Amino acid sequence: MINFTKDLLAVNPAYNDSIIQFESTITNAVKAVISIEGIQFQTIPINGKFTFNFKEIIKSIINTNRFEDDILPDLGNDVFIYYDDKIVKKIEVVISVQSLTANEQITKNYTFIRSVEQLMNYRNLINITADIKVLLPSKNYVDYHLKYFEGYPFDFAIYGIKSGDTFYLRNITTNQQTEIFTATTSNALRVFLSDGANSTTDTDILIQSSTLNRLELFVNGHFKANISVSKVESDSGVYLKWINSKGSYSYWKFDRVFKSLITPKTIDDFEGSYDNLQNLNATSYIIGKTANQTIQVDSNYNSLEAEYLKDLITSPSVWMYRHQTAFNQQMPFDFIGVKLSDTAFTAIDTKNSKNRVSLTITLPTFFTQTN
């Protein structure tokens, strides 16, 4: 018999250690073989116990596309609920303990979410029994806050709604609600408020106020979460999207006034001449140049929004929207991969305090001609 002395939770963050420990009643067991999606790993016992950490293998199979978002919504067709099969990974694990003369086996099922947790928040998380979670920062995993920028692509994700569950969103300010949906899969679902140019009838029900819209999520007739959406009226600016620490995507629009800087550097040049002066028009020739283009963006934020921007600073994948004006239909490759400079971020946890953040963004490679 295989007995577990350390096991995983029902749902585990993919980018933290996920360690199991087990022992076997087989006499003189020499190794354990762990099979995951056709890949086999071996571990040997130490003081009679086998240990295995899923972190590295899960990282490789949960992120095969470098966090790229392959969902391109089209709200012009009045559909704003999409299912994303890349946020959560469910795996079957076959564990075989072997000795020279015996072998025993057990099958386990584990679920991982494309997220990373920090110690302080995670201590709260494991004590919370909420089965439905919005994949956004939250202190209690019931109340969520986000800022919606009108006229730009925008969504938020929900995990835990299973195939066959019914769900709907209700605006408690207006007492209006969406239709009642029935989940067709158990994947995380994403609620799109805009695809850049369009919104749906249901979205108009949900987001009416130009300030705060207080939404409630109901699953199978039971309340699950509060989602407070602050709507920002359409305006131009630099719009960023990033993979957040909860495994989904977040968005933020920075001020429309920003600084742009192109920094060139000469690769090398040829010095000297090999002809009479009357036949020359130059005495040196530049081989070529390299160049980097950066922009510096700024934005105000309050204490409720600090966690979102902290996620942006630490995100491994950030994209910038190609358009700097609102109400452009999102097309393939409209979000371009960019880099953020290593910038310190100071968050002041004072209610409704107005703080300001400044970031430097490096745009994609600046191509130049060379001789």
Residue 77: inside a domain, yes or no? no
Chain segment 207-224, per-residue pLDDT in tens: 877 778 999 999 999 999
Residue in the structure block whose two tokens are 């968050």:
347
Q: Which of 337, 309, 306, 344 is nearest to 321 (CA)?
A: 337
In a shared domain, residues 229 and 131: yes
Alpha carbons 317 and 336: distance in angstroms, whole number: 11
Q: Examine the pLDDT at 200 and tell me if it is beyond 70.
A: no
Residues 16 and 92 occupy one common structural domain: yes
Same domain, yes or no: 8 and 53? yes
pLDDT at 350 over 60: no
Task: Please report whether residue 146 resides in a domain.
Answer: yes
Does the structure show a pLDDT above 60 at 334? yes
Q: Is residue 83 part of a domain?
A: no
Last residue of a domain, one of 218, 234, 250: 234
* The one-letter amino acid at 124: N
What is the value of pTM for the model shown? 0.91
Long-range contacts of 266-274 (CB under 8 A, 24+ apart): 267/370
Domain assignment present for residue 100? The answer is yes
Domain-ending residue, one of 210, 234, 258: 234
Residues 257 and 229 in one domain: no
CA 168 – CA 156 distance, rounded (Å)? 14
Q: Is residue 265 part of a domain?
A: yes
Q: Are residues 180 and 201 in the same domain?
A: yes
Q: Are 271 and 354 in contact (CB under 8 A)?
A: no
Look up the CATH number of the domain holding residue 229.
Answer: 2.60.40.10
Tens digit of each residue's pLDDT (9 = 90 or more) over 44-78: 999 999 999 999 999 999 999 999 999 999 888 77
Per the structure block, which two tokens stand in for 345?
Answer: 């971020």
92 Cβ contact partners less than 8 Å away, ≥ 6 residues apart: 36, 107, 108, 109
| Number of domain units in the chain | 3
Are 123 and 66 contained in the same domain?
no
The whole-number pLDDT of residue 299 equals 92
Q: Are 267 and 290 in contact (CB under 8 A)?
A: yes
Does the structure show a pLDDT above 80 at 371? Answer: no
Question: Quick one: 245 and 370 in the same domain?
Answer: yes
Specify if 81 maps to a domain: no
Q: What is the pLDDT of residue 349?
A: 57
Q: Which two tokens stand for residue 306?
A: 């600090």
Copy the structure tokens of residue 231.
Answer: 């709507």
Q: Are 155 and 79 in contact (CB under 8 A)?
A: no
Range of the domain at 194: 117-234
351 in a structural domain: yes
In 3D space, the residue among 69, 74, 65 whose CA is nearest the CA of residue 330 turns out to be 74
